[in-house]
Amino acid sequence: MIRVLPNVLTASELQAVRELLPQVRFGDGRITNPDSSVKQNLQAPQEDPANARIAQIAREALVRYADVRTFAHPRSMARTTVVRYEPGMNYGWHVDEAMFPSTPPMRSDLSCTVFLNSPADYDGGELTIQLGAQELSYKLEAGSAILYPSTTIHRVSPVTRGVRLAAITWLQSWVADSNQRELLVQIEEARALAASGGDPARLQVLLESLRTNLFRMWADT
């Protein structure tokens, strides 16, 4: 399941990020993926002070964002890194690493991109995610983010004009299984609908989905 998170960064956080971005000293993105033959971008070293400040702003914004809690049930979040794609740069089809060598090591369940500049600033640079035979492409407004399963094959298509800037991170969830996470998301939606007296037809279909899918999960065959 993929979730777009509009306006993760407030206007003042976005302004702070805009002032910090020119101070980031980018290096070759392959520093963290030396064996990759498809990664062709620029990436801030972890120790870069402007990267660290942007990372902190992005993390705090993600942690306080209610949909991140509902959708991801986050247990831990990996390092956050600012990436930069100039014309000709791209990150070809790949799957993200399963484990990050943090202390303690963490498993990536969800990948996250926080878009840091306007889609009008560049051509190309879509984040495209494969779901079966379908491809879904995203190019979000500055300050908005996307969460998607780290199990998916995805890419950043070549930038053909301008510069694409984003902050990327990964989350480990308390609930490893994405089908189980999906049921918790539906329970939360049903709870919120019941509390607000919202659309009864939607509440009905959510409850049907929960009953049917829990039965499917628990039925002995």
Ligand X SMILES: O=C(O)CCC(=O)C(=O)O
Q: Identify which of residues 1 and 194 has a Cβ nearer to ligand X in the complex.
A: 1
Nearest to 26 by CA among 172, 196, 163, 118: 163
Please report how close the Cβ of residue 147 comes to Fe ion at its closest, in angstroms. 13
Give the annotated binding-site residues for Fe cation.
Answer: 94, 96, 154
24, 165, 166, 171: which one contacts ligand X (CB under 6 A)? 166
What's the rounded Cα separation, in Å, for the pair 188 and 95? 29
Q: Is 61 exposed, middle or buried (0-12, 13-18, 19+ CB in 10 A)?
A: buried
CB neighbours of residue 78 within 10 Å? 20
Q: Is residue 156 close enough to count as binding ligand X by CB under 6 A?
A: yes
Task: Identify whether the C-beta of residue 94 lies closer than 8 Å to the C-beta of residue 105.
Answer: no
- The beta strand positions in the chain, using DSSP E, are 3-5, 27-28, 39-40, 42-43, 74-77, 81-85, 90-94, 99-100, 106-107, 110-115, 122-124, 127-131, 134-138, 145-149, 154-156, 159-162, 164-173
Give the annotated binding-site residues.
Answer: 94, 96, 154, 164
One-letter amino acid of 102: S
Please report how close the Cβ of residue 73 comes to ligand X at its closest, in angstroms. 22
What's the rounded Cα separation, in Å, for the pair 42 and 8? 23
Site stretch for Fe ion (CB under 5 A), options 7-15, 35-43, 92-100, 185-193: 92-100
Applying the rule CB under 6 A, the residues between 61 and 120 that interact with ligand X are 83, 91, 96, 113
159, 168, 171, 206: which one contacts ligand X (CB under 6 A)? 168
Give the annotated binding-site residues for 2-oxoglutarate.
Answer: 164
Please report how close the Cβ of residue 63 comes to ligand X at its closest, in angstroms. 20
Q: Identify which of residues 8 and 168 has a Cβ nearer to ligand X in the complex.
A: 168
One-letter amino acid of 119: P
Report which residue's Cβ sits closest to ligand X.
113
State the number of binding residues for Fe ion (CB under 5 A).
Answer: 1
One-letter amino acid of 110: L
96, 127, 159, 162: which one contacts Fe ion (CB under 5 A)? 96
Q: Identify which of residues 81 and 173 has a Cβ nearer to ligand X in the complex.
A: 81
Which residues form the interface with ligand X (CB under 6 A)?
Answer: 83, 91, 96, 113, 127, 154, 156, 166, 168
